[in-house]
Amino acid sequence: MKIIITGAAGFVGAHLSAELIRNGHTVIGIDNFNNYYSKDLKRERIKALLGDCAGLVEECNIQDYSSMETIFQKFKPEVVINLAAQAGVRLPETQFEKYYESNIDGFIVVANLVRKFNVPTFLYASSSSVYGNSKNLPFNESDFSIRPISVYGNTKLFNELHSNVFFNDNSTKAIGMRFFTVYGPWGRPDMAYFRILESLVNESSFTKFGDGQLKRDFTYISDTVESIVRLITRSQSDLSRSNEIFNIGGGNPVSLNELIAGLEKVTSLKIKLIQGNASKADVDITFADYGKLERYIEFKPKIDVIEGSKNLFDWVKNLEKTKLSNWVKL
């Protein structure tokens, strides 16, 4: 199949592009290579994961309707996967417009083009952030009382609501993917697990925001990618064409303190901690109910945080210390 992936130089996008190419699909990647973290690191990522196919990732802003339309017209995709977004929940109020520009304006451009070119299948990244501080655990897709507590989470909920209205004629199979905390090799350098690994490998300090009791449902990158690939395959035979939302998470929340203890055990190293203040945008817990996903694609995430942490540390050990420092430096 011919597949367009936005955010293709990102963590999930690059791994997914590589897997789909290995599976024989024709992929065109789109990324604006923004400066949320180093552009050089993003280019290093796609070079490592895509090899000779790295040139398939075109530099383009998804808000640029004309340029995006040209790509759609030329490529005529059968599947579009929108992973492009302003990530994270910690941007200061003075930079909130970045969330709106990418996560709402850009999303609307992609959705409009999906409909204009009659693309049969549209998958898009949502987030566990839409659940906010819901007390209904584990988080279930049928819970309609959710209230995000971050601007980022609000933009992702908008994507879901917009898709539900925009694709209600069933001409396109629209699937929202509520990602939980995805981790693994070549991941986002602003995430806690990379900062912890930096402190371990380089014997530097790690700033722990809050008391370390916040829990996250860590989901290994290979499980995330496998889930997306299966969603693409399953959607081709799903004649209902209705809009769907799926949690993509491991179903096993782990606190930051537990993560630190686990990494110390795996590496036989000790972390130097500095206490920091928690962010108001941080939720208390993320906890995925993956039952709907498992029933639909006959797969559930299977790599737990201990095995995943070991895999990640083995990858880190194969990098030069200076390269790791550059990778995690924003």
What local confidence, expressed as pLDDT, does residue 210 receive?
78
- pLDDT per residue over 242-295, tens digit each? 799 999 999 999 998 998 888 888 888 888 888 777 777 678 999 999 999 999
118 found inside a domain: yes
244 found inside a domain: yes
292 found inside a domain: yes
- pLDDT per residue over 19-72, tens digit each? 999 999 999 999 999 887 788 889 999 999 999 999 999 999 999 999 999 999
The number of distinct structural domains making up the chain is 1
80 found inside a domain: yes
What local confidence, expressed as pLDDT, does residue 288 receive?
97
- pLDDT per residue over 212-238, tens digit each? 889 999 999 999 999 999 999 999 888
- pLDDT per residue over 72-125, tens digit each? 999 999 999 999 998 877 677 778 888 899 999 999 999 999 999 999 999 999
Structure tokens at 320: 């030069």
What local confidence, expressed as pLDDT, does residue 197 receive?
79
Give me the domain span that covers residue 8: 2-183+218-251+286-303
Query: Are the C-beta atoms of 206 and 273 separated by less than 8 Å?
Result: yes
39 found inside a domain: yes
Average pLDDT over residues 141-160: 94
Q: Does the structure show a pLDDT above 90 at 196?
A: no
List, in order, residues 6 or more apart from 135 with CB less than 8 Å away: none
Q: Does the structure show a pLDDT above 60 at 330?
A: no
The band of 328, judged by pLDDT with boundaries at 50, 70 and 90, is low
Active site residue: 36, 131, 152, 193, which one? 152
List, in order, residues 6 or more apart from 189 with CB less than 8 Å away: 37, 38, 41, 327, 328, 329, 330
What local confidence, expressed as pLDDT, does residue 306 receive?
87
* Pairing verdict, β 215-216 and 254-255: antiparallel
pTM here is: 0.93
Q: Does the structure show a pLDDT above 60 at 202?
A: yes
Closest CA to 80 of 51, 112, 104: 112
Spatial distance between the Cα atoms of 52 and 167, rounded to a whole number of angstroms: 36
Count the Cβ atoms, other than its own, within 10 Å of residue 24.
7
CATH of the domain at 225: 3.40.50.720
272 found inside a domain: no
208 found inside a domain: no
195 found inside a domain: no
Is 100 assigned a catalytic role? no
The band of 323, judged by pLDDT with boundaries at 50, 70 and 90, is low
Spatial distance between the Cα atoms of 173 and 242, rounded to a whole number of angstroms: 6
